[in-house]
Amino acid sequence: MSAIVLDGKALATQIEQQLAERVAVIMEQTQGIIPILATILVGDDPASATYVRMKGNACNRVGMESISITLDAATTTEQLMAEIQQLNDNPDVHGILLQHPVPGQINERLCFDSIALAKDVDGVTSLGFGKMAMQEFAYGSATPAGIINILDAYDIDPSGKHAVVVGRSAILGKPMAMMLLNKNATVTVCHSRTQDLPAYVRQADIIVGAVGKPELIRGEWIKDGAVVIDAGYHPGGIGDIELEAIKDRCYAYTPVPGGVGPMTIATLITQTVDAAERHYEIY
């Protein structure tokens, strides 16, 4: 079997070309207003700084602007919320991204939930999650929404399939499960307390690795013909799934790197353009 490579990098490039055209339309219809994504980084974690820089570069490629705010690692919850509120109140800012994780002294959930729903383009608020789960309007959490975009682009329909999501984080595993459920999949969520994880993985028509541990999900657990989505990335260019063991047995898989990662950023930028279009009533 020759598996389909779900090329997120190539798909993201196509999306960016379309976004550049949409940004040009926004500028034309608003006499030069440019969509803006504001990013907030608390502390000096090198990986987080790299992610923020990559998102800023993506904005530049499509003609958007990005505002990068870096706060001291000793920042308090109240100080961070005050920064977020200023961005909420700024009509020129269309999307707000608080880079995860934040230092331990900060109440991350409280800060996420202080982002205005209309600017929650990373899909991190409790209100946004609830609306998404109920199939009302909200911007989906960027990584799982990016995964859904990959499935759609490759005409992989989750309807009626058994999807197994390994991981239950608030910004990946849980929204991934709800999005797949909204696409009519039968969904099982596994996590650190799951007993006999291999038995669940073996049932999966679609397996999503979202656990954050290198190659925790072994190739021998995955059945032939499955769709394999690896949302992990670890040093050495490996993900949460032992991909080398299944490349000749599965129906399709996301490579690491070059699969889910680029589509996370492309989805974030797309949702920022969406927010600008909604703000200026450009449809």
What does the alpha-carbon distance between residue 245 and residue 102 come to, in Å, rounded to a whole number? 35
Identified catalytic residue from 7, 113, 122, 205: 122
Q: Report CA torsion sign: 234, 235, 237, 242.
A: negative
Q: In the block, which residue shows the tokens 């005050």?
A: 82
161 is catalytic: no
Give CA–CA dist 140/130, Å, rounded. 10
Question: Does 99 participate in catalysis according to the annotation?
Answer: yes
Helix axes of 8-29 and 46-61: crossing angle, nearest 10 degrees: 60
Marked catalytic residue, from 99, 119, 120, 161 = 99
Dihedral through CA 72, CA 75, CA 79, CA 84, nearest 10? 60
Q: Is the peptide bond before 101 cis (omega within 30 degrees of 0)?
A: yes
How buried is 141 (Cβ within 10 angstroms: 0-12 exposed, 13-18 middle, 19+ buried)?
buried
Sheet arrangement for strand 95-98: 65-71, 36-42, 95-98
Give the CA radius of gyration of the chain: 19
Backbone phi and psi for residue 240, each to the nearest 5 degrees, phi listed first? -85, -10
55 as an active site residue: the answer is yes
Q: Are 237 and 255 in contact (CB under 8 A)?
A: no
CA distance 126 to 234: 28
Give me the active site residues, please.
55, 99, 122
